[in-house]
Structure 1
Amino acid sequence: MVHAHGVRRRVHVGDLRPGDHVCLLFESDEERDSILRDFVLGGLDAEHKILYLTGEKDPPGRDLLLDRCRLTDAAALSGRVDVLGLAEFRTVRGRFDPAALLRRLRGAVERTLAEGYRALRVAGDLCPLPGDERDLHRLLRYETLLAEEFGSRRALALCQYDIRRCEPAALDAFAAAHARSVEADPLVRTADLVVVRTYRPQGLRIEGVVDAGSHRCLREALRSVAAVRGEVRLEMSRVEFLDLGGLRLLMSFARARAARHRTVELTGLLPHLLQVITLIGWDRTPGLRLGAAHAGCR
């Protein structure tokens, strides 16, 4: 299945393993920082070393990563995290030099293994300057070389691209250079239910079975997006079963948002669930909006 911007398959950040080369197309600092935080903490737990690439002209060392990951314990990162400015890998004419960066990464991998770590984790914001086709081609060359280099399973890479700064054609090209995209770890992951925070659009993706045993988990997941200012979208195309108690939770969530002049949209509901909502009259719940599919099954 091909997703937006050509990315074929999603992987949770906590499921990344050495040898993976994935991308994150983000459009908010919240999305970037949340996934970066899990990427860093997962690396610390796995005894990996972390290298963060930044386009900042004067990167303030570990403080930048601490801030973006909302971490307060600088000592926990001591000796295990390096921050590298991408400006170091531009030629005298200001052009990005992918070969120079790759050589540095190759050396970093060798040092990481020599120091006794299991692998090197690399993450960084890599958007080219708007309209700079030459930098775009150099970055694509870098991505190709990186995929070949990191296939050795001695390192893993998370390449971040800011949708707000990159042109659509560039985003398509960068996404196509990666076999998978990364997304946040599930808020809920049980044998029967998975709930994942989404950012484009803001909301949740709900998969599996919602029954009496999972109401508490669903309620807590809904609370995690209660403060979202815009519309919250609940993507439910992979919901196999949703009991009346679960539906009541969704209706209560919609009414609570309506009280603050906000809305929630349910998308992808199976036809029989849409019929239940309509028969009960819950389709008129304040704050609730049903996706286009609902109109088609009336």
Structure 2
Amino acid sequence: MAHPHGVRRRVHVGDLQPGDHACLLFESDEERASILRDFVLAGLDAEDKILYLSGAEDPPGPGALWDECRLTSVPGGPAGRVEIVRLAEFLTGCGQLEPAALMRRLRNAAERSREEGYRALRVAGDLCAALHDGHGATGALGVARLLRYEALLAEEFSSGGALAVCQYDIRHCEPAALDAFASAHARSVEADPLVRTAGLVVVRTYRPQGLRIEGVVEAAVHRQLRDALRSVAAVRGDVRLEMSRVEFLDLGGLRLLMTFARARAARHATVELGGLPPHLRQVITLVGWDRTPGLRLGDAHAC
């Protein structure tokens, strides 16, 4: 599936490796917090140090970032593992980013993390604060300076001593700027899978709200699929289950989807089965499950 803003390859955020330079285009605080949480957890597991670029005038401390990621129970907490840096420190008096100054700061942080014994430095942050002029509009000069920073970052991090996820809020960036930023990254990131077995992957999606289901659904994974469906049960409004990569779905799995649809109907919402392979659409129609309350069959999967 092509990314809506042209990023060439999508990767689970927990699968990033030193040397990777990826972007996250998000449009909800929930989406950003979820993926940031996965990014931080992967860093803890890999013995990385984490640097967060804060766009706030008064950035939160490491403990507040831990709270935002819902990692308050992680042993050791943020002590020594997280550094918060104000993006405003690298803006001119006119609010324009100074790419070289920011890169020097990140280079020094990466060198220091290696001296402290960490595997690599992980960098994340919402960069939209570096884009806008005094009237809140996205200025061409701001875009050009930020693209310069992205180019420097990709070159610097290619050595493998660090990795970065550059975050851009779709709500606060113009489409042309988003396309430019997406093109500056070889990868985009998404949340780590809710389910990842030898045959099945289920990933939380946010645009639209729902799940992407890939692979084989059989009795051995019914519990995992049920848990994944429960994770989006509280979503307000309609939910979409993207199913174009489903290779096999047994009757037990279909019943789980019908039960989920009825529960959505009770909340005055629907669940759309998108990208259904023709054989699954045919089965659902033949047994009459296409008339299930709360269920909507979306676009068919193109063969």
Answering whether residue 109 of structure 2 is matched by residue 102 of structure 1, we say: no
What TM-score, normalized by structure 2, do the two folds share? 0.94
Q: Name the CA distance, whole Å, in 1 between partners of 2:154 and 2:68.
A: 26
Answering whether residue 279 of structure 2 is matched by residue 272 of structure 1, we say: yes
When the two chains are superposed, the root-mean-square deviation of aligned CA atoms in Å is 1.6
> 1:84 — aligned with what?
85
> 1:118 — aligned with what?
119
The amino acid across from 1:283 in the alignment is D
> 1:197 — aligned with what?
204
Say if 2:277 and 2:300, in contact at 8 Å, map to a contact too: no
C-alpha distance after superposition, 1:169-195 (max 9, x if no partner): 111111111111001111110011110
> 2:8 — aligned with what?
8
SS of the equivalent of 2:192 reads coil
Q: Name the CA distance, whole Å, in 2 between partners of 1:150 and 1:283.
A: 50
Q: Name the CA distance, whole Å, in 2 between partners of 1:136 and 1:24.
A: 17
Q: Name the CA distance, whole Å, in 1 between partners of 2:38 and 2:85.
A: 20
Deviation of 1:260 (Å): 1.1
Q: 2:215 aligns with which of 193, 201, 208?
A: 208
Deviation of 1:218 (Å): 0.8
Worse-superposed segment, 71-80 or 28-37 = 71-80
> 2:294 — aligned with what?
287
Structure 1 residue runs of 4+, over 3 Å off? none
> 1:40 — aligned with what?
40
> 1:225 — aligned with what?
232
> 1:72 — aligned with what?
72
Deviation of 1:92 (Å): 2.6
SS of the equivalent of 1:292 reads coil
Query: Percent identity over the alignment?
Result: 77
What TM-score, normalized by structure 1, do the two folds share? 0.96
Q: Name the CA distance, whole Å, in 1 between partners of 2:138 and 2:182.
A: 18
> 1:159 — aligned with what?
166
Answering whether residue 257 of structure 2 is matched by residue 256 of structure 1, we say: no
Q: Name the CA distance, whole Å, in 1 between partners of 2:30 and 2:292.
A: 30
Deviation of 1:245 (Å): 1.0
C-alpha distance after superposition, 1:244-272 (max 9, x if no partner): 11111101100011011011000111111
Distance 1:260 1:93, change over 3 A: closer
Say if 2:59 and 2:86, in contact at 8 Å, map to a contact too: yes
Worse-superposed segment, 65-74 or 163-172 = 65-74
C-alpha distance after superposition, 1:132-161 (max 9, x if no partner): 111111001100110000000000001011
Deviation of 1:73 (Å): 5.3
Deviation of 1:42 (Å): 1.2
Q: Name the CA distance, whole Å, in 2 between partners of 1:229 and 1:94.
A: 37
Deviation of 1:2 (Å): 3.5
Figure out how many residues of one structure are paired with residues of the other and give that number.
296
> 1:240 — aligned with what?
247
Q: Name the CA distance, whole Å, in 1 between partners of 2:266 and 2:97.
A: 51
Deviation of 1:91 (Å): 1.5
